Amino acid sequence: MSTHPASRFAVAAFAAVIAGVPVVDGTVDLARRVRPPVADLFTQPPTQANLRATEHAMEEGSAVARAVRPWMLAARFLGLRDGGDKVLRGRGGWLFYRPGAEYLTARPPAGGSMVNDALAAVRGFRDELDARGIRLMVVPVPNKESVYPDRTFRGGRPPAGALAPETAAFLSGCRRAGIPVVDLFAEFRIARAAGAPDLYLATDSHWTPAGLRIAVGEVARHLRAPAGPSAYAVLPAPVRRTGDLVRMLQSPAIEAAVGAEVVACERVVRAESGAPYADDPASDVLVIGDSFLRIYETDEPGGAGFIAHLARALGRPVASLVNDGGGATLVRQDLVRRPRLLEGKRVVVWAFVERDLRLAAEGWPVLALPDLPRRIE
Amino acid sequence: MVFTSHIFVFYFLPLTLAVYYLLPDRTGPRNAWLLVASYVFYGWWNPWFTALMLAVTAINHAGGTVIARPGAAERSRKAALVLAVASSLGLLVFFKYAGFLQVNLNHLLGAFGADGVRVWSIVLPVGISFYVFQALSYTVDVYRREAPPARTFADFACYIALFPQMIAGPIVRYGSVALALRERHCGVSLFASGTVLFMLGFAKKVLLANPIGGAADAAFGAAAPGAGVAWAGVVAYALQIYFDFSGYSDMAVGLGRMFGFEFIKNFDAPYRADSIADFWRRWHISLSTFLRDYLYIPLGGNRRGPVRTYANLAIVMLLGGLWHGANWTFVAWGAYHGILLIAERAAGRAPAWRALPRPLRVAATFVLVLGSWVWFRAETLADAAAYFTAMAGCGVPADARSAVLAAQVFEPGRLVPMAVAGLLLISRRQAHEWSAAVTWPKALVAFAVFLVALAAMAAQAFNPFLYFQF
C-alpha cells in the first residue's frame, strides 16, 4: 500500500521542528562562543538539583524560545487579555499584579498564614527599638487590588475597597499589641469616596503622587508634624513611566501597545536655595521600606517620593533605608548591618506592602539589633 | 520529564527516535535502547526513583518466570503470584499511603488520649500507581495463562518502563503489547498517525488544559467563591482534567505509534455519556477495565445477586478512588461514584430516565460528574463541603473581593479556551480515530496547532500533568 504524501509531510514537518530547534540553538550558541547548557549534562553529577538547573538553563537559553516568547506573550495579552502569571488585566486599561489579586481572594496556603510570624517580628522589632528609646510606626501599604477591586472586573461597583482577612488580622493584632499602625486602607477608601484622583498608577503596581501624598499626610499626622511653612517647597516634575506591570510582561510589543503613563510628580526642594531634597542620616526619623518608598524617590524624577514628601511635611530631612521587594525582612537585615543609622533616632517608620504578610520570600524572622549606646535625653 | 517541556520535545524525543531508527530493525537492540531511554526519562525527576521501578520489575519478572516454568506445580505458581502481588502492592502502599495511614492512626490514637506515631515524610515516586498496576497485570495474566511470559528480562523491563505511557498511562496490559515486544514494524503511515496524534494531544494540554486550569485554580483556591464563580470553577476543572489527561493519553498513544506500538484508547468522549455507568465505559478506560478484570470480576462481579453486586461496586469504586491518592477526598470521590452506580443499577432500565431525550440525559450525567469533580479537586473534605455550599448559593455573601475573584475566573484568556474546549466536546471527532489515517487537511491542522502550542509552551510557566500526582 502506498503512503499518502500527507503522511510524509507530517513526519518531515514534525522531525524538522523537533530536530531543528536544537540545531538552531546550538548554532547560535557556537556563533556567540557560549557553551550550550545541554553540555552541563555531561559535566555535572546527575542529581535532581543539577538536572532541574540544566533543564531551566536550556529553556531560558534557547535562542528560538527567546525569539518566540515575546510575540506569544503579546498575542495572548493583546488578543486574549491574558497577562500570564504576573499580570491581571482589568478594565479601562488598568493592570493589576496577579499575586496581589490572589492575596485578596485566595485562602492562605496549606502551611498557614504568616500573619502570626509577622506580628511576632513586628513586636520583636518594637521591643528592640523601645530598648533604644526609639518608637516604631508600622505602615502596611495597601495592594492596588485592595484599593481598586472594582477596576479589576466590569461587575465591580466603585468606590469600593477590600480588606484581605490576613491584613485585617494584622492591623488588629498590631493595635492589640499597642503598636502604632497607620491604616491607609481606611484613608484611601475615604479619599476615593470623596472623588480623589487616581491613587495608583494604571499600569504599575505602585501609588501615584496623589496616593503617596495621602500616605505622607497620614504618617505625618501620626508623627505630629509641626504646622506652618516648611523649609521645603515643591516643583512640578512630570515624568513618563512604563509601568512595572507592563515590564513584567516581557514583551516590547506589549510595551509599545500599552505605552507609558505621564505622572504629575512634584519634586521636593529646599525653599531657600532650590537645592534638591537630600536625606540626613543624623535625622531623628528613619524611614525603612520597599519599592513604595523607592518610586519617584530614586527613580525618575528623583526626590519626589514618599521620603522627600514626608521630610517636607515634617519640615526637616529624614534618614531612609530602602530594599526593593524586601520590606518585610531584607530591609531589617540591612538595618542590622548598618546599626549606626539608628543613632539619634526617635522614630522608625516601617512601610511594607500588605501582600508580604503572605508572600514575603524571606518570611518574617524576629531579628535582634546590635547594641547601641542608649540615647541620652 | 514532562512531554510538554523544551527538553523532551527538542532533545529527548529527537535523540531517542534517531538512535532507535538507526539501530538494526530488530526488537532486541531497539527494545534495549527504549529501555535505556525510558530509564533516563524516568530518572530525570529523581534518579533514585529508577531503583524502585527496577525492584518492581525484578519482582514481577521473577514471579512470572516461576509461574510460567514448564511443569510448575499449582501451589508454587500460586505462591509466586501471591508473593509478587503482595510485594508490589506493599511497595505501592508504603510509598503512597504510609503517611496517610500514620496521620489517620494518630487521629485515632488522639481520640483515646494516646500519643501519636511519628509521621514519615516519604517522597511519592511519580507514576508508581501506573507501573505497579502494569506489572501486576503481567503476573496475573501469566498466572491465568492469558499472556505468554516475557522473552527476556530486558523485554519485560522495557514494557514496564516504556516512557510514552509509564507516568500517567494508559495502563497497558502485557498481553496487548507482548507480540509487539517480540516483533513490530513502523511504516511511514503509522509513524505519521503517531505524530498527528502527539501534536493534537500536545495542543490539548498546552492550549486548552493549562489556561483553563487557571480558572479552576482561582475558584477552588478562593476563600469565599460565589455561586457563579463556583460553578464556573468546577466546569473549568472538568474541562481541564479531561483535556489534560486525554491530551497526555493522546501523546502517549501517538508516541507509541512512532515506535510501532498500538496502545489502548483511554477516553471515548466521556462527557457525552448518558449515565454514570456509560461515563465509566468512556473515562480512563484502561483503569476502569483493569479494575473490572482484576478486581470486580474476581470479587464475583454481578453474578452473585444484587446485594453482592452492590457491595462489589462499592469496593471497586472506593479502591479506585483511593488509587488516585492518599486523601479522604479521593475516597469520597470513589464513594460518590459508587453510590451513583449502585443507584443506577438498582433503578435498572428505569423507563422515566430512558424516556428523557438523550441530550437531557447527557446534561444530567454531566452535572452529576461535575459534583464528583468537587470531591476530586478539593484539598480536604471540609473544602469540598464549603465548595458545594458555594455552588448552592449559600456561601459567603458577595463583597468587594468578589469582583477581583471574578476577574481571575472570567478572563477572556480562560473563557476562550473553555469555549473551544466546549465545541470540541460537542464535536463527534475524536483525536484517536481522527489521526488514524493522515490526510492533507489533518496534517496541516495538526502541524499548525502544534506550532502555536510550542510557541505557547515557550511562554508558559511549569505545567505538570494533573495525573502525575497519582
- For chain A, the straight-line distance linking the first and the last C-alpha, in angstroms and rounded, comes to 100
**Is residue A123 situated within a structural domain?**
yes
pLDDT higher at B71 or B419 = B419
pLDDT for residue B289 is more than 70: yes
Asked if A17 lies within 8 A of B451 by C-beta distance, the reply is yes
**Is residue A190 situated within a structural domain?**
yes
In whole angstroms, give the CA distance from residue B467 to residue B209.
12
Q: Encode pLDDT of B332-380 as tens digits.
A: 999 999 999 999 998 876 678 888 999 999 999 999 999 999 999 999 9
Amino acid making up residue A124: G
| pLDDT for the residue numbered A374 | 52
Render A257-279 in DSSP notation, one character per residue. HH-PEEEEEEEEEETTT-PBP--
**Is residue A270 situated within a structural domain?**
yes
The answer to which of A3-7, B16-20, B412-416 has the lowest mean pLDDT is A3-7
Share of chain A above pLDDT 90, in %: 78
What value does the mean pLDDT take over residues B193-211? Answer: 96
What value does the mean pLDDT take over residues A48-74? Answer: 92
What value does the mean pLDDT take over residues A291-310? Answer: 95
**Is residue A117 situated within a structural domain?**
yes
What value does the mean pLDDT take over residues B209-227? Answer: 94
In whole angstroms, give the CA distance from residue A146 to residue B408.
14
H/E stretch holding B409: helix B400-409
Asked if A149 lies within 8 A of B461 by C-beta distance, the reply is no
Is residue A80 within 8 A of residue B416, CB to CB? The reply is yes
Q: What is the sign of the dihedral through the CA atoms of B15, B20, B24 and B25?
A: negative
pLDDT for residue B467 is more than 70: no
Return the number of other C-beta atoms located less than 10 Å from residue B77's C-beta. 18
Mean pLDDT of chain B: 92
- The shortest CB-CB distance from A82 to any of B399, B402, B413 is to B413
Q: How far is A173 from chain B (nearest CA, A)?
A: 21
Query: SS3 of A320, please?
Result: strand
Q: Which residues of B touch A152 (CB under 8 A)?
A: 403-404, 406-407
Asked if B411 lies within 8 A of A81 by C-beta distance, the reply is yes
Q: Are residues A225 and A136 in the same domain?
A: yes
Radius of gyration of chain A (CA): 25
ipTM score here? 0.90
**Is residue A99 situated within a structural domain?**
yes
Can the peptide bond before residue A159 be classed as cis, meaning omega within 30 degrees of 0?
A: yes
**Is residue A75 situated within a structural domain?**
no
What value does the mean pLDDT take over residues B58-65? Answer: 96
Question: Which one of B4, B9, B10 makes the best mutation probe of the A interface by having the most chain A beta carbons within 10 Å?
Answer: B10
Taking alpha carbons only, the member of A118, A240, A233 closest to residue A179 is A118
Q: Encode pLDDT of A208-235 as tens digits.
A: 999 999 999 999 999 986 776 778 999 9
Q: Are residues A118 and A56 in the same domain?
A: no
pLDDT for residue B201 is more than 90: yes
Q: What residue spans define the domains of chain B?
A: 6-184, 190-459
Is residue B415 within 8 A of residue A81, CB to CB? The reply is no
If you measure CA to CA, which chain A residue comes closest to B218?
A106
In whole angstroms, give the CA distance from residue A337 to residue A331.
10
Q: Encode pLDDT of A167-221 as tens digits.
A: 999 999 999 999 999 999 999 999 999 999 999 999 999 999 999 999 999 999 9
Share of chain A above pLDDT 70, in %: 95
What value does the mean pLDDT take over residues B214-221? Answer: 95
Q: Are residues A210 and A349 in the same domain?
A: yes
Q: Which residues of B touch A69 (CB under 8 A)?
A: 458-459
Domain C-terminal end among A19, A37, A61: A61
Q: How far is B463 from chain A (nearest CA, A)?
A: 12
The answer to which of A138-147, B170-179, B296-305, B396-405 has the lowest mean pLDDT is B396-405
Q: Are residues A109 and A198 in the same domain?
A: yes
Q: Which residues of A touch B443 (CB under 8 A)?
A: 6-7, 9-10, 13
In whole angstroms, give the CA distance from residue A92 to residue A152.
9
| pLDDT for the residue numbered A113 | 74
Query: CB pairs below 8 Å between A and B: how many?
Result: 184
| pLDDT for the residue numbered B465 | 62
Q: Encode pLDDT of B317-328 as tens digits.
A: 999 999 998 899
What value does the mean pLDDT take over residues B410-428? Answer: 93
Taking alpha carbons only, the member of A67, A148, A209, A231 closest to residue B403 is A148
Q: Are residues A37 and A182 in the same domain?
A: no
Residue A369's pLDDT band (cuts 50, 70, 90)? confident
Mean pLDDT of chain A: 91
| pLDDT for the residue numbered A270 | 93
The answer to which of A31-35, B102-106, B169-173, B437-441 has the lowest mean pLDDT is B169-173
Question: Which residues of B participate in catalysis according to the annotation?
Answer: 324
Residue A155's pLDDT band (cuts 50, 70, 90)? low
Domain limits at A23?
Answer: 7-61
**Is residue A377 situated within a structural domain?**
no
Q: Which residues of B touch A98 (CB under 8 A)?
A: 408
| pLDDT for the residue numbered A220 | 94
Q: Encode pLDDT of A323-336 as tens digits.
A: 998 999 999 999 99
In whole angstroms, give the CA distance from residue A72 to residue A66.
10
Q: Encode pLDDT of A260-279 as tens digits.
A: 999 999 999 998 899 999 99
Can the peptide bond before residue A301 be classed as cis, meaning omega within 30 degrees of 0?
A: yes
Q: Encode pLDDT of A91-141 as tens digits.
A: 999 999 999 999 999 998 776 678 989 999 999 999 999 999 999 999 999
Q: Are residues A112 and A176 in the same domain?
A: yes
| pLDDT for the residue numbered A377 | 45
Indicate the number of domains in chain A.
2
Q: Are residues A103 and A245 in the same domain?
A: yes
**Is residue A137 situated within a structural domain?**
yes
What value does the mean pLDDT take over residues B294-305? Answer: 91
pLDDT for residue B67 is more than 60: yes
Taking alpha carbons only, the member of B380, B392, B381 closest to residue B225 is B392
